Homo-oligomer: A and B are copies of this chain.
Amino acid sequence: MSDILVVGSLAYDSIETPSGRVDRALGGSANYFSLAASLWARVRVVGVVGQDYNEADYKLLQSRNVDLAGLEKVPGKTFHWEGKYEGDMNEAQTLRTELNVFEHFNPKLPEHYKDSAFVFLANIAPALQLEVLNQVKNPQFVGMDTMNFWIEIANADLLKVLKRVNVVLINETEAEMLTRAENAISAAAKIIEMGPEAVVIKRGEYGFIMYTKAEGYFVLPAFPIAKVTDPTGAGDTFAGGFFGYLASRQDKLTVKDLKQACIFGSILASHTIQDFSVKALSKVTLGDIEKRMSEYQKVITV
């Protein structure tokens, strides 16, 4: 088992969905990712929070054996995101983004983080993703996510990051925006030309596409969920499950491992969306995952 370094946001989210609303509930890509990945592997977090960050929210990650040595607490308020879902549950409408302490974040890795074998650069400014990656000595497997905002305003940096990662995990709309492709199938092939050896396109309720240089397309639907309470964090949960599973493998990673990792990520994300914030995700056990995996096998098998 290898350690996974993740850099991303620790946030408070105010979210409205057809099922209700929550105010300043725990969120952020690094939280979802860490809760997911820590089911299989040890996670090291790089990030920043403000003085309003709750003790209980540190403890949640610590209870999962997540290393918080790289998590700074600085004067000011924690990153706050306000969003809404209506109609299309695959896409949030952002109502407000308050960067707060993230505005002047300058990630510095604790010495013992620098030998991390697995690195996940969650959705933050591409320049920060590069800064983190430059501090890791000899990463074996690097992944990244990004979003529309960075595709538009930091394209040059983003292209640099793309050349240095093994896998990109990205939303369907953003994959099409990044590549100017007409659909996700075409976008997947174009992203591979930008550097990585694998790309995973997350399609919300429709599941995912993986495209690898070695074996081409791997496409599967999401586990069927009749009632989606809050889709926030599904993508970061997917990434966490994906990386967690991979870091738990002993041997050199194969495409088969990547495929299996997609399924674990997808199954785990199907739990996240069944409650607000990290409520469902923080309770999921490996037993729950095994159970849903076997239900999923029935759903996709003739």
Contacts and interface: CB of A to CB of B under 8 A. Distances in A.
Interface of A: 18, 89, 182-186, 189, 203, 205-207, 209, 215-222, 224-228, 256, 259-260, 263, 298-300, 302
A184 B300 CA distance: 16
Contact of A18 (B18, B182, B189): B182
A182 B302 CA distance: 27
5 contacts: A18-B182, A89-B182, A186-B226, A207-B221, A221-B221
A18 B209 CA distance: 23
A171 to B, nearest CB: 14
Nearest to A227: B186
A224 B205 contact: no
A264 to B, nearest CB: 11
A219 B205 CA distance: 11
Nearest to A187: B226
Most buried by B among A89, A206, A263: A206
A103 to B, nearest CB: 35
Contacts of A260: 302
A224 B209 contact: yes
Identify the 3 closest CB pairs spanning chains A and B, nearest first.
A206-B206, A219-B221, A186-B226
A216 B300 CA distance: 11
